[in-house]
C-alpha cells in the first residue's frame, strides 16, 4: 500500500469514528452541540467552528437579501487582516486602531493586479468612486466595502476596532443560507454557544416581514472536516 492510500485510510477511520459519535437523527441544543463538535474534531490545527443557517427567504427580493454585522461576545479566535482605503487625513486614525494596511492609490493598483490577501476592507465614503473600479475583483471574494456592514464609514478607527474585536459580517447566499464561523475548536463549549447564540438571535430578530412560511428551516454546526450536528431550533432563545 502506498503512503497516499495509507493516509486516506487513516483520515477515513478518524471520520468514521467521528460520524459514530454524532446521532444524525437527533437535534441538539447549542451547549450539547458545541461540546460534541470539540469531541469529534479530527484536525490537528485549531479548526474553525461554523454555523450554517438555512432560511425560508427569497434573496432575489431586496428586503429578503439579508446581510449585516454582529459582534461575537468572545471574538472569532482569528486575528483578521484589515485594509483601510482612505485619504491621507484618515491614515493615522486607521493605523492607531490597528489596521494592517492603510492607503489608497497604491492598494487600488495592487488589487487591480490580483492582490487580495486581506480579510476585511474598510473604506471612507469619499474614496468609493475609486474603490468601485475594483469591484469586480472584490465582490466575488466578499471584500467589497458596504455601508450595511459598516465597512463604508468616515469613522475608520471605530470600524477597525470592531473588526479586530470580533465583529463579523453575515450574508445570505443565493440559496438563502448563511454560513459563518463563530470561533475555534480551542474555545470552550460555553464560549462557542454564546457566540452562536448571538448570531442566531440576530438572524431571528431581523426576519423580513415579507418572508412566508417557516423562517428558520435548519441550523447545523460543524468544524472543518467534521460531520454536521443538527440544532434543535425550538431550543434557541
Residue 7's pLDDT band (boundaries 50, 70, 90)? very low
Share of the chain above pLDDT 70, in %: 92
Per residue in 35-71, pLDDT (tens digit) is: 999 998 888 889 999 999 999 999 999 999 998 999 9
Tens digit of pLDDT for each residue in 195-226? 999 999 999 999 999 999 999 999 999 998 78
CATH 3.30.190.20 segments of the chain? 25-76+168-235
The average confidence (pLDDT) of the chain is 90
Q: Which architecture, in CATH terms, is 82-165?
A: 3-Layer(aba) Sandwich (3.40)
Question: How far is CA 24 from each of CA 123, 133, 168, 229, rounded to the nearest angstrom?
Answer: 44, 47, 29, 7
* pLDDT the model gives residue 11: 54
Q: Which part of the chain is CATH 3.40.50.790?
A: 82-165
H or E segment and range at residue 93: helix 91-96
Residue 144: the pLDDT is 95
Confidence band (pLDDT; 50, 70, 90) for 237? low
Q: Nearest CA to 123 among 104, 106, 141, 110?
A: 104
The three three-digit cell numbers of residue 164, written as one number: 479586530
Q: Strands across the sheet with 101-103, in order?
A: 101-103, 82-85, 120-123
Residue 113 DSSP symbol: T
What CATH number is given for 25-76+168-235 in this structure?
3.30.190.20
Answer whether residue 235 shows pLDDT above 90: no
Amino acid at each position: 500500500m502506498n503512503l497516499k492510500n495509507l493516509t486516506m485510510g487513516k483520515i477515513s477511520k478518524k471520520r468514521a469514528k467521528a460520524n459514530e459519535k454524532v446521532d444524525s437523527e437527533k437535534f441538539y441544543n447549542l451547549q450539547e452541540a458545541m461540546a460534541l463538535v470539540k469531541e469529534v474534531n479530527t484536525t490537528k490545527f485549531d479548526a474553525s467552528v461554523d454555523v450554517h443557517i438555512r432560511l425560508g427567504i427569497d434573496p432575489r427580493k431586496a428586503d429578503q437579501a439579508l446581510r449585516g454585522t454582529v459582534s461575537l461576545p468572545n471574538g472569532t479566535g482569528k486575528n483578521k487582516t484589515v485594509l483601510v482605503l482612505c485619504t491621507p487625513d484618515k491614515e493615522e486614525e486607521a493605523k492607531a486602531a490597528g489596521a494592517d494596511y492603510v492607503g489608497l492609490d497604491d492598494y487600488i493598483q495592487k488589487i487591480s493586479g490580483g492582490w487580495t490577501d486581506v480579510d476585511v476592507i474598510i473604506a471612507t465614503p469619499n474614496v468609493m468612486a475609486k474603490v468601485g473600479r475594483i469591484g469586480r475583483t472584490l465582490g466575488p471574494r466578499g471584500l467589497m466595502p458596504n455601508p450595511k456592514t459598516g465597512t463604508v464609514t468616515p469613522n475608520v478607527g471605530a470600524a477597525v476596532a470592531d473588526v479586530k474585536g470580533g465583529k463579523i459580517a453575515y450574508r445570505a447566499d443565493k440559496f438563502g443560507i448563511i454560513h459563518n464561523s463563530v470561533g475555534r475548536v480551542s474555545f470552550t463549549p460555553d464560549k462557542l454557544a454564546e457566540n452562536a447564540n448571538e448570531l442566531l438571535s440576530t438572524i431571528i430578530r431581523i426576519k423580513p416581514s415579507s418572508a412566508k412560511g417557516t423562517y428558520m428551516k435548519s441550523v447545523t454546526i460543524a468544524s472543518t472536516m467534521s460531520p454536521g450536528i443538527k440544532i434543535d431550533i425550538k431550543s434557541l432563545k
